[in-house]
Amino acid sequence: MQISMMKLVFMTSLFLSSSITPAAAETIRVNFDDWCPYSCMEDDHSEIPHSKRPGYELDIINLIFNKQGIKFDYLFMPWARAITEATAGRLDALLSPGKKEAPGLMFPEESIGELKWCFYTLAGSKWNYSGVDSLEKVTLGYLEGNVVSAEVQDYIDKHKDNSLLVQPSYQTNWIDMNFNKLAMGRITAILDEQYTLDYHIKETGKTSNFRKAGCLNSESMYIAFSPENPRAKEYTEIFDAGLRRLRASGELKTILENYGLDDWN
């Protein structure tokens, strides 16, 4: 009887301990870029993402998905590789492509921002973008994997092997690298997303060093999900409902104001 009672106590304790152990949180593996104000890391790259200002996109997706018991695992990698990894299903999500950049992924209805590709030069330059023919007058630096307007993308693809006309960057520190190359005269123009470059120029105190030299048409960007993940469609629906809730409640406006931004819609 004593042995049976001890066995009962042991089994009861085991049941209780297992029943109160929290289940592991569901995790979405997503790429991370040092792309403030969208996604931000510490200045010394010691922490991913930034502990206090992770970027407005991360603020949004964490707020939406954490309510569903879903966490994000951020993986720092070059942009071109991130597209490949998400398309193959080795990442569950991709932040933040336009639809042309990752056509194999599953996109929600709601965007997470607006991409506007702009050209930048040294402050003393007289060059301005005035159509694709004007690109022949500069050596253009850009991030490999970005997909811009059709005519400019065709020009880049056509001249990719001519370093006198175009120079791709594949690294995760492409912003610093391209501005350093611009300062040293190794390139004479940069093509990239305006909010990111404007933020970088302001944060580094170099507003008098560089100038904007024209822009392409803007396009929507998203958090997109790999169709290899069986919950991809559900994730798009969670995002759509969550973003609409944040917009209606005013929470989205507050998040964006923290980065000096307005609602892209």
Q: Does residue 227 have a cis peptide bond before it, meaning omega lies within 30 degrees of 0?
A: no
Per CATH, the homologous superfamily of domain 26-114+220-257 is Periplasmic binding protein-like II (3.40.190.10)
pLDDT above 80 (res 15): no
**Residues 38-67 pLDDT 10s:** 999 876 666 678 778 899 999 999 999 999
Confidence (pLDDT) at 50:
78
Say whether pLDDT at 16 is over 70: no
34 falls in which pLDDT band (50, 70, 90)? Answer: confident
- End-to-end CA gap in the chain: 72
The string of DSSP letters for 241-261 reads HHHHHHHHHTHHHHHHHTTT-
Q: What is the DSSP string of 138-184?
A: S-EEEETT----HHHHHHHHHTTT-TTTEEEE-STTHHHHHHHHHHH
Query: Count of CB atoms within 10 A of residue 232's CB?
Result: 18
Please give the pLDDT value at position 121: 98
Q: Collapsing DSSP states into helix, strand and coil, what is residue 149?
A: coil
Average pLDDT over residues 177-204: 94
For residue 19, is pLDDT > 70?
no
H/E element, 45: none
Question: Which residue type is seen at 46?
Answer: S
Q: pTM of whole model > 0.85? A: no
Phi-psi region of 55 (alpha: psi -120 to 50; beta: other; left: phi over 0): left
List, in order, residues 6 or more apart from 16 with CB less than 8 Å away. Answer: none
Assess whether pLDDT exceeds 90 at residue 21: no
What's the chain's length in residues? 265
Q: Which pLDDT score is estimated for 251?
A: 98
Q: How far apart are CA 170 and CA 4, in angstroms?
A: 67
Between CA 141 and CA 8 the distance in angstroms is: 71
pLDDT recorded at residue 51: 78
d(CA 123, CA 125): 6
Out of 17-26, 46-55, 230-239, 248-257, least confident range: 17-26
Pairing mode, if any, of strands 166-169 and 140-143?
Answer: parallel
| H or E stretch at 236 | helix 232-249
Confidence check: pLDDT of 12 > 70 = no
Instruction: Please check whether residue 236 is in contact with residue 225, taking contact to mean a CB–CB distance below 8 angstroms.
Output: yes
For residues 177 and 70, what is the distance between their CA atoms, to the nearest angstrom?
35
Q: Please name every residue paired with 30 in a beta bridge, in sequence order, or none if there are none.
A: 74, 93
Residues of each domain in the chain carrying CATH 3.40.190.10: 26-114+220-257, 117-217
Q: Could you tell me the CATH superfamily of domain 117-217?
A: Periplasmic binding protein-like II (3.40.190.10)
